[in-house]
């Protein structure tokens, strides 16, 4: 193996170890965090690729708000 190739592979291996350690650090539970909720979020990420925005159906208006007043066109 050439010196350049060996050096490149050593550098890549070092970076991979650093990335792996950072990912493990992120997976550590935060104090006060619900472990069941974290597990469900991970399952959603695996299923959808990322977390989708949650719908807030209680805040959605049920009626249409008109910009202009009603005009009867049959007259």
Residue ranges covered by each domain of the chain: 3-49
Six-digit token string for 24: 């493990």
Quickly count: other Cβ atoms within 10 Å of residue 38's Cβ: 13
Six-digit token string for 66: 């008109």
pTM greater than 0.75:
no
Give the tens place of pLDDT for each residue, 21-66.
988 887 776 677 788 888 888 888 888 776 565 656 666 667 777 8
Query: What letter would DSSP give residue 59?
Result: G
Supply the pLDDT for residue 52: 62
Supply the pLDDT for residue 53: 59
Six-digit token string for 13: 């291996």
Supply the pLDDT for residue 50: 61
Q: How far apart are CA 43 and CA 49, in angstroms?
A: 10
pLDDT at 7 over 90: yes
Q: How far apart are CA 73 and CA 51, in angstroms?
A: 47
């Amino acid at each position: 193996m050439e010196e350049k190739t060996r050096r490149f592979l050593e550098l890549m291996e070092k970076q991979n170890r650093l990335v792996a350690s950072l990912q493990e650090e992120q997976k550590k539970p935060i104090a006060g965090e619900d472990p069941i909720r974290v597990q469900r979020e991970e399952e959603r990420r695996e299923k959808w690729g990322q977390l989708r925005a949650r719908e807030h159906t209680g805040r959605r208006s049920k009626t249409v708000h008109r910009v202009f007043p009603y005009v009867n066109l049959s007259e």
